[in-house]
Chain A
């Protein structure tokens, strides 16, 4: 059975794939391809954040009453990653690959430690508390991700 943990974790891996594509393009000094690949990656990450912030987190908060808990920290980390994404787009637009690589490195670690907390702690908590709502919730999340 698909759980929230497996579904959302798969989407994390999808974002990783797109990140790798952007990095490959920049390594080949292909700036237009890198810009396109990074835009693709950024859209996927933003869609992931959006479906968490609009659907998954509020459902979790309503069910558990934990409003200032883990979901709040995750939202703050989303903000930090949004800032890094914007800076990286900027660096690519300026054609500054050194800055881009530094930002991409920072973003990757930030993203991975964030994902680790979600995958190991928050998503299992969601699965535990939202068992009854899971099928409906997953349908929601899936449509939000495909629309984006």
Chain B
């Protein structure tokens, strides 16, 4: 409620921006790692460099953007005002950046000390973030599927970070853990209960609003987050009890739920009333198709486990789901959020006396559309790399680094124009 009371309570631009500007650098790093290490990265999902690159993307890119965006939107979407957002942003940003680098280093060089430090730093960072957001969300009633989804997604965050920290410490100290089963479970918590539920909760709001589509049907929207979380709890129980058949059944159901959500979103976007296919829309379409393919692979492997042993199968799933799906959704949303926030802050600093330039002047659609093509091409090369690593691993890494660098360049350009206009507005106000 507080957030509504005054603009001063809205988080300053610097709070989310630090996450959005550093995230592309981690994706560049992941791409360069693949380019340097070459075909060996794609030998299996357990290769140290593959684990390092995966976490540079999931923590350094995805988690950065998700937490940065939450700091910005919790006040608007849920009326939950974080106390001292800039301080929280600084701490969480430093923790995530340091944690992602330590973890990637720990995997790559096989150093137990780095793995332990990463586990502790990331767990502490997640605890600080969860503590702050839970305090803000206490007393906020779940009046919409989005608010309930956000709350449940935070449980998913606790699950994925908790399991991840446990495994990193286990690796560092040589604990006897069932690492293969736990890794799948960790990925399930991360991609399903955390990123998937968060995506759905936000999609309920942003898809109808910004594409002017019909709304998501109410009942499935309420149930999707609950179902996903329940499935992950069941999956965890199945791993504890060592029931592989139940694990596969749960994976199949989770894949099905994801396909239904993505298919529904595709259908809604098909009914959109906006005349122009902008970069955000194109990114979402690409992301939805990639995720549906990934989830079909997942469901296939649950009924036909031998599929997972095919060359490049699991890596292809990861590439489609993470680079093709989640990264695309996030970049698509960033391309709306960053120019809008720039406009809003300029508007406020102009005090209605000096007009702010519109969003397209901050970040032009053409620049975003071109970068999107580079990202799509990089995803295609990564898939080829998973199947024919000798030929495609290095070009794929370079292409991914290039597309991510381009994203960073676009965002940086928006911020440079923002700063220029902010100085211009201040000068004009002073001259009055």
* Chain A residues with a Cβ under 8 A of chain B: 16-17, 19-20, 23-24, 26-28, 68-70, 73, 76, 79-80, 83-84, 87, 98-99, 101-103, 105-106, 108-110, 112-113, 116-117, 120-122, 124
Contacts and interface: CB of A to CB of B under 8 A. Distances in A.
Interface in B57-114: 76-77, 79
Nearest to B352: A79
Contact of A105 (B205, B344, B360): B360
Interface of B: 1, 4-7, 76-77, 79, 143-144, 205, 209-210, 212, 273-276, 278, 336, 340, 343-344, 347, 352, 355, 358-361
A27 B273 CA distance: 12
26 contacts: A17-B273, A20-B212, A20-B275, A23-B276, A26-B275, A27-B276, A69-B5, A70-B1, A70-B4, A70-B5, A73-B6, A84-B358, A101-B276, A105-B359, A106-B340, A106-B343, A108-B212, A109-B210, A109-B359, A110-B340, A116-B76, A116-B205, A116-B209, A117-B79, A120-B143, A121-B4
A120 B359 contact: no
Contact of A23 (B209, B275, B347, B352): B275
Nearest to B272: A20
Given A69-B5, A87-B355, 5 more contacts: A73-B5, A73-B6, A109-B340, A117-B76, A121-B4
Contact of A113 (B76, B276, B358): B76
A116 B360 contact: no
A102 B212 contact: no
Contacts of A28: 275
A84 B346 CA distance: 13
A115 to B, nearest CB: 8
B355 A124 contact: no
B1 A121 contact: yes
A68 B360 CA distance: 33
Nearest to A25: B275
